[in-house]
Amino acid sequence: MRFVHDTLPQRVAFGSGAAAANLSNEITALGATRVMLIASRNEMHLADTVAKDVPVVHRHDEVVMHVPAEVAARARRAAVQHSVSALVSVGGGSTTGLAKAVAMTTGLPIIAVPTTYAGSEATPVWGLTEGAKKITGIDKNVLPKAIIYDAVLTMSLPVTMSVASGLNALAHCVDSLWGPNADPINAAFAAEGIRSLAAGLPKVVADPMDLDGREHALYAAYLSAAAFASAGSGLHHKICHVLGGKYNLPHAQTHATVLPYVLAFNGPAAPDAERRIATAFEGTAFAAGGALDGLVALKRELNAPRALADYGFTEDAIEEAAEAILPSVPPSNPRPVTAEDLRVLLRAAWSGADPRTTF
Ligand code: NAD
């Protein structure tokens, strides 16, 4: 066994109902006396409860998906104007993303309080949109210093969004099994992430207030993102990055839809990954058959997003999208990828065809 693994320095405080106390501890540990609280308008009431014991000097609620450059610029100006010493983000990936944009230019530390399963809080990856172009990069300064996980804050996340977001986390796990820097540590995290999602998400669907289900999903969100941050973007993320950026498709739903087709394509050439995924489903209701059967069964149980056509992707864009994705396919992908492979994959994902008969 030979590998080099980058472990990212973050503290993780996990506890249902403990977000306010944990946040207060982290802010004290940082010695921060002027906090900028970032949350979207809809989640600001949650953020106010979480930040009740910290010295907030500015509440910033202009949060927009994919962080448009002008939105980032206004948040950066606000941080400087209020002489902020720490950023606290409470929300999904879009909110964490805005905090990262501010940290990028100001060097301010972030404490992230995630309320979805997107996982941005555990990666050093930032994203900004300029015009219609989404740009991303890696900067260790944008990695939150600490993450506060509190499943109670996710109770209000609607079931459809919880499912899509949970499958976004599952996509981090699966892609990290064959990402450019895949290693056995990422694989261990990914396998535990898949197991925990398969255990938790059906409970969330059955009862959105099921705390145990929510905790399993949130714990998995961390594992999945930590694995992904280390392994790097594999074929699945390269495909979804183009689809999201070029066609403005919703992030989590796009990942949830595309994942089984990538698994159908790569799986036969990645037997170790397949075995790990199938093993992770053991002990759940999705164990019969292999990795792809398990994923298909889980998606059916969750009534998960099925077809890109439902999210605004059109058949006539398949050709162009395939050409746009091809140059970004990682050379380390377990099997070579042609434009025709991508057309077949995208057509199946567009229509919601059975991934088990796509390739
Ligand atoms: P999001 O943050 O846009 O949230 C989706 C919706 O859910 C929003 O309407 C939000 O208001 C709502 N919401 C969030 N938490 C809620 C709660 N607890 N209760 C009720 N409603 C709630 O979506 P997302 O999927 O979390 O994040 C997507 C964004 O994150 C994309 O821009 C994506 O590129 C980015 N992302 C980045 C990374 C990274 O490593 N940099 C990783 C994953 C995602």
Q: Which DSSP string corresponds to 108-135?
A: --EEEEESSS--GGG--EEEEEETTEEE
Amino acid code (one letter) for 212: D
The pLDDT score that the predictor gives to residue 24 is: 98
Task: Tell how far the Cα of 24 is from the centroid of ligand 1, in angstroms.
Answer: 24
Query: Residue 105: which pLDDT band, with cuts at 50, 70 and 90?
Result: very high
Instruction: Provide the pLDDT confidence category of residue 233 given band limits of 50, 70 and 90.
Output: very high
Whether residue 132 is predicted with pLDDT greater than 80 in this model: the reply is no
User: Is residue 243 pLDDT above 80, yes or no?
Assistant: yes
Over residues 22-36, the pLDDT tens digits come to 999 999 999 999 999
Q: pLDDT band for position 159 (50/70/90)?
A: very high
What does the chain come to in residues?
Answer: 359
**242 C-alpha to ligand 1 centroid (Å):** 18
- DSSP lists the bridge partners of residue 88 as 37, 111
Tell me the two tokens of residue 197.
């999602």
pLDDT greater than 90 at residue 292 = yes
- Looking at every residue in the chain, the average pLDDT score rounds to 97
Report CA-CA distances (Å) from 131 to 63, 81, 136, 248, 263: 17, 26, 14, 12, 32
The predicted model gives 254-270 an average pLDDT of: 98
**Has residue 306 got a pLDDT over 80?**
yes
pLDDT of residue 6: 87
CA-CA distance, 342 to 345, in Å (whole number)?
A: 5
Q: What is the pTM of this model?
A: 0.97
Task: Kindly report which listed range (67-81, 124-138, 208-222) carries the lowest average pLDDT score.
Answer: 124-138
Confidence of residue 303 (pLDDT cuts 50, 70, 90): very high
Q: Which atom of ligand 1 is nearest to the CA of 67?
A: 32
Distance of alpha carbon 101 from the chain centroid:
17
pLDDT of residue 329: 98
User: For 319-342, what is the mean pLDDT?
Assistant: 98
Looking at the CA of residue 92, tell me the nearest atom of ligand 1.
2
CA dist 194 and 295 (Å) reads 10
Q: What percent of the chain has pLDDT over 70?
A: 100
pLDDT in tens, 141-156: 999 999 999 999 999 9
Instruction: Please report the DSSP string for 283-333 in residue order.
Output: TSTT-SSSHHHHHHHHHHHHT----GGGGT--GGGHHHHHHHHGGGS-TTS
Residue 314 clears pLDDT 90, i.e. is over it: yes
pLDDT tens digit string along 203-232? 999 999 999 999 999 999 999 999 999 999
Q: Is 13 helix (H, G, I), strand (E, B) or coil?
A: strand
Residue of 44, 48, 62, 65 best suited for mutating to test ligand 1, as the one with most atoms within 8 Å of CB? 65
Q: What residues are paired with 148 via a beta bridge?
A: 13
Residue 163 and residue 302 in contact, taking contact as beta carbons nearer than 8 Å = yes
Nearest to 235 by CA among 317, 311, 331, 307: 331
Q: Is the CB of 42 under 6 A from ligand 1?
A: yes
Question: Helix 184-206 vs helix 291-302: angle between axes, to the nearest 10 degrees?
Answer: 30
Q: Look at residues 137, 10, 3 and name the one whose alpha carbon lies nearest to residue 67.
A: 137
Would you say residue 133 has pLDDT above 90?
no
**Region 187-197 average pLDDT:** 98
- Residue 165 beta carbon below 6 angstroms from any ligand 1 atom: yes
Ligand 1: distance of its center to the CA of 94 in Å? 5
Task: Give the model's confidence band at 134: pLDDT under 50 very low, under 70 low, under 90 confident, else very high.
Answer: confident
- H or E stretch including 241? helix 235-247
Percent of the chain whose pLDDT exceeds 90: 94
Pairing of strands 110-114, 86-91: parallel
